[in-house]
């Protein structure tokens, strides 16, 4: 499964002119991502001032334009990232109103402590029952350990929940290190979850190859990294993806289509 996170919540055209911000730019980007081998597009949308927003209408506008250009050739995953602006209740409200095909949920935001476990479990069960595919974002070893504990307790209403493991961090400019993947795999029980890796910074490509070699899935894109493996700026998100797909061309693990993702991971 090749996912792409083409913009994120913070970067703008000042960071890269090909970073998609508007609905039209996202739709144009989506075509190139599909053609490069992406099956899941991780979506952030912006308000009229270009700021991160969890506005359902803004999502509908962007998703509508993407569907106009790519049909159902991409799974569209909505983010609920707070970016310090939204409460857990506001994040949940977006999902309940929008009812997207797929959603990413930061465990530390939606279930920050034991006090929040009951309401979070109710929400996670609702998400699964609605046929929405959740992916739980894990930012640290503590997140991963907690995810494993909650998974064993049945917190996610799914015997094999999906998670995204994050190497590095944007807010602290901490670059991801592919060597940290071994420690991740010692915490997350990969037999009981589908795991995807993303990596902040210039080592993204090496981290993606390591994840692929270990049987994981990958999330690539400008949200995490703007550079090709040789240090040159990537022309666009599709160039980052094409770099990866070319490197695994001889592997028996080929990129899944969106329909294969739906059948294999979403509709078990």
pLDDT (tens digit, 9 = 90+) per residue, 156-195?
999 889 999 999 876 556 788 888 898 888 888 877 888 9
Q: What is the pTM of this model?
A: 0.94
pLDDT (tens digit, 9 = 90+) per residue, 83-108?
999 999 999 999 999 999 999 999 99
DSSP string spanning the chain? -EEE--STTT--TTT-TT---SHHHHHHHHHHHHHHT--EEEE-EE-TTS-EE--HHHHHHHHHHHHHHHTTSSEEEEE---TTT--HHHHHHHHHHH--SEEEEEHHHHS-SGGGHHHHHHHHHHHHHTT-EEEEEE-SHHHHHHHHHHHHTTTTSSSS-EEEEEESBTTTTBPP-GGGHHHHHTTS-TTSSEEEEEE-STTHHHHHHHHHHTT-EEEESTTT--B-TTSPBPSSHHHHHHHHHHHTTTSS-PPPPHHHHIIIII--
Measuring CA to CA, which residue among 157, 165, 155 is closest to residue 219? 165
Beta bridge partners of residue 233, listed in sequence order: 227
pLDDT (tens digit, 9 = 90+) per residue, 216-265?
999 999 999 999 999 999 999 999 999 999 999 999 999 999 999 999 98
- Position 268 scores a pLDDT of 52
For the chain, the average pLDDT equals: 94
| Span 51-60, average pLDDT | 97
- Position 197 scores a pLDDT of 96
Residue ranges per domain, the chain?
Answer: 2-261
pLDDT surpassing 80 at residue 267: no
Instruction: For residue 40, name the pLDDT band (cuts at 50, 70, 90).
Output: very high
pLDDT surpassing 90 at residue 112: no
| Span 116-128, average pLDDT | 95
Was domain 2-261 assigned CATH 3.20.20.70? yes
- Position 173 scores a pLDDT of 67
Q: For residues 226 and 15, is the Cβ–Cβ distance under 8 A?
A: yes
Share of the chain above pLDDT 70, in %: 98
Share of the chain above pLDDT 90, in %: 84
Instruction: For residue 41, name the pLDDT band (cuts at 50, 70, 90).
Output: very high
């Amino acid at each position: 499964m090749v996912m792409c996170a083409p913009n994120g919540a913070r970067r703008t055209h000042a960071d890269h002119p090909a970073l998609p911000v508007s609905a039209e730019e996202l739709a144009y980007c989506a075509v190139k991502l599909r053609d490069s081998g992406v099956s899941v597009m991780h979506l952030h949308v912006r308000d009229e001032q270009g700021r991160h927003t969890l506005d359902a209408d803004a999502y509908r506008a962007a998703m509508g334009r993407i569907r106009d250009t790519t049909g159902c050739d991409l799974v569209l995953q909505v983010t609920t990232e707070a970016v310090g602006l939204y409460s857990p209740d506001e994040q949940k409200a977006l999902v309940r109103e929008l009812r997207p095909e797929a959603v990413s949920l930061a465990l530390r935001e939606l279930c920050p402590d034991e006090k929040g476990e009951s309401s979070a479990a109710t929400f996670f069960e609702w998400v699964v029952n609605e046929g929405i595919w959740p992916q739980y974002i894990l930012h640290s070893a503590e997140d991963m350990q907690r995810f494993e504990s909650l998974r064993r307790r049945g917190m996610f209403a799914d015997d094999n929940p999906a998670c995204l493991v994050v190497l590095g961090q944007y807010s602290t400019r901490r670059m991801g290190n592919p060597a940290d993947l071994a420690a991740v795999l010692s915490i997350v029980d990969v037999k009981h979850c589908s795991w995807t890796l993303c990596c902040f910074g210039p080592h993204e490509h090496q981290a993606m190859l390591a994840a692929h070699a270990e049987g994981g899935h990958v999330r690539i894109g400008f949200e995490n990294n703007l550079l090709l493996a040789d240090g040159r700026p990537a022309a666009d998100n599709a160039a980052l993806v094409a770099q990866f797909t070319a490197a695994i061309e001889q592997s028996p693990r080929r990129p899944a289509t969106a329909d294969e993702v739906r059948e294999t991971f979403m509709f078990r």
